[in-house]
């Protein structure tokens, strides 16, 4: 049953996409700009994971646990850069992250070369069967890590005081400041969480596909598309959008061939942009 196999893989990939989008949308929430360097942060995390894998034999989960905090450190330079954007802020900040993406790509080219790299570990060769269809261990790991992190992020944002303060700062920074919320610290927290989630995704991705310095661009587009579809800071909406996205992607690839995957991806982006800021689950509850 190749179609079932493709759909299972698509669902797993979808959860991983949800993880990509969660970091991207958190960054958007606090920085008020799409971070076009998000994919490069993921790739940076992937290279950290590949290095840990090669030198210490770390598996993707252990590598992700180290890469996440490392990439989260981007919050400080990012905040310094974005605070220097001149009006019109949204457009300048977007261009700034575009420049940052180009800079990171070329720095990685300089340091890591354009060679294709892949994270190998013993358990990765194994795999299980789900509903009778084979599923690779790397894909299961990425999907499980994505699901766990999405749930954890959801609980953090909805149930804890810092999480609520973070959401308040995203909604209306001035009002949040008047309520005594340290908005500046919340912005750093949001950027660090966004970068950290990108860093965690890196080593997981390195077990799924080959990594090159320019592998980040399609990841950014996926995260961007999902954020427009799922709504900003809406972990549930992002997870749902990620699943739908992974499943339809698998269908497109299975039925029309891998050559049309990108057309479908950018077509979705263009289509969803037509409705601008609306999300799948909008309106019921504030982000």
Partner 1 sequence: MRAGWVLFGCAAAVALLPWSPYHLSLLTMVLLLALLAASWHLLALGGQLSFGHAAFFGVGAYASALLASRGGLGVWAALPGGAISAAAVALPVGALSLHLRGPYFSLATFAAAEILRVLATNWTPLTGGAWGLVGLPPLPARGSLLAAGGIGAILLVHVFLGQSRWGLALAAIRQQQERAEGLGVPSRPLLLAALVTSAAFAGFSGALYAHHVRSLEPATAFSLLFSILPLIMALFGGTASPAGPLLGAGILYFLDELFLQPRFPAAHQLLYAGAILLVLLTMPEGLLGFARRRGGRRGAP
Question: Could you list the residues that contact partner 1 (CB under 8 A)?
Answer: 33-34, 81, 84-86, 88, 90-92, 94-96, 98-100, 102-103, 105-107, 109-110, 113-114, 217, 221, 224, 259-260, 262-263, 266-267, 269-270, 273-274, 276
Pick between residue 33 and residue 235 the one whose CB is nearest to partner 1.
33
Q: Say which residue the tokens 């989008």 belong to.
A: 21
Pick between residue 122 and residue 259 the one whose CB is nearest to partner 1.
259
Q: Which parts of 231-260 fold into alpha helices (H)?
A: 235-256
Q: Considering the complex, what minimum distance in angstroms separates the CB of residue 249 from partner 1?
A: 14
Q: Considering the complex, what minimum distance in angstroms separates the CB of residue 6 from partner 1?
A: 20
Between helices 38-56 and 2-31, what is the axis angle to 10°?
Answer: 120
The total number of residues shown for the chain amounts to: 287
How far is the C-alpha of 216 from the C-alpha of 252, rounded, in Å?
21
Q: Considering the complex, what minimum distance in angstroms separates the CB of residue 122 from partner 1?
A: 33
Pick between residue 114 and residue 284 the one whose CB is nearest to partner 1.
114
194 C-beta neighbours (distance < 10 Å), count: 28
Pick between residue 132 and residue 257 the one whose CB is nearest to partner 1.
257
How far is the C-alpha of 281 from the C-alpha of 287, rounded, in Å?
10
Instruction: Using alpha carbons, select from 105, 87, 86, 89 the residue that is nearest to residue 36.
Output: 105
Pick between residue 15 and residue 85 the one whose CB is nearest to partner 1.
85
Q: Considering the complex, what minimum distance in angstroms separates the CB of residue 101 from partner 1?
A: 8
Q: Considering the complex, what minimum distance in angstroms separates the CB of residue 259 from partner 1?
A: 5
Distances in whole angstroms, Cα of residue 63 to Cα of each of 34, 47, 204, 214: 27, 10, 8, 21
Cis omega (within 30 of 0) for bond into 88: yes
Pick between residue 210 and residue 260 the one whose CB is nearest to partner 1.
260
Q: Considering the complex, what minimum distance in angstroms separates the CB of residue 191 from partner 1?
A: 17
Q: Say which residue the tokens 């996440």 belong to.
A: 68
């Amino acid at each position: 049953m190749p179609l079932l196999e493709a759909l299972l893989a698509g669902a797993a990939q979808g959860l991983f996409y949800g993880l990509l989008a969660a970091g991207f949308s958190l960054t958007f929430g606090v920085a008020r700009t799409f971070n076009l360097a998000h994919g490069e942060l993921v790739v940076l995390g992937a290279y950290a994971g590949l290095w840990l894998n090669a030198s210490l034999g770390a598996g993707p989960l252990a590598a992700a646990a180290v890469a996440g905090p490392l990439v989260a450190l981007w919050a400080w330079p990012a905040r310094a850069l974005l605070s220097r954007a001149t009006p019109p802020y949204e457009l300048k900040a977007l261009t700034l992250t575009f420049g940052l993406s180009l800079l990171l790509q070329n720095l990685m080219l300089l340091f890591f070369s354009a060679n294709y790299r892949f994270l190998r570990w013993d358990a990765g060769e194994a795999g299980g069967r789900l509903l009778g269809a084979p599923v690779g261990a790397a894909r299961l790991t990425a999907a499980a890590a994505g699901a766990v992190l999405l749930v954890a992020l959801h609980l953090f944002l909805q149930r804890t005081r810092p999480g609520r303060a973070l959401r308040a700062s995203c909604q209306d920074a001035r009002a949040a400041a008047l309520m005594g919320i340290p908005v500046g610290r919340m912005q750093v927290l949001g950027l660090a969480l966004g970068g950290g989630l990108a860093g965690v995704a890196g080593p997981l991705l390195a077990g799924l596909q080959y990594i090159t310095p320019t592998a980040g661009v399609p990841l950014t587009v996926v995260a961007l598309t999902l954020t427009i579809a799922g709504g900003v800071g809406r972990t549930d909406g992002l997870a749902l959008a990620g699943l739908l996205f992974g499943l339809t992607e698998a269908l497109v690839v299975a039925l029309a061939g891998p050559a049309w995957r990108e057309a479908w991806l950018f077509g979705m982006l263009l289509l969803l942009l037509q409705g601008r800021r609306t999300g799948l689950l909008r309106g019921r509850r504030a982000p």
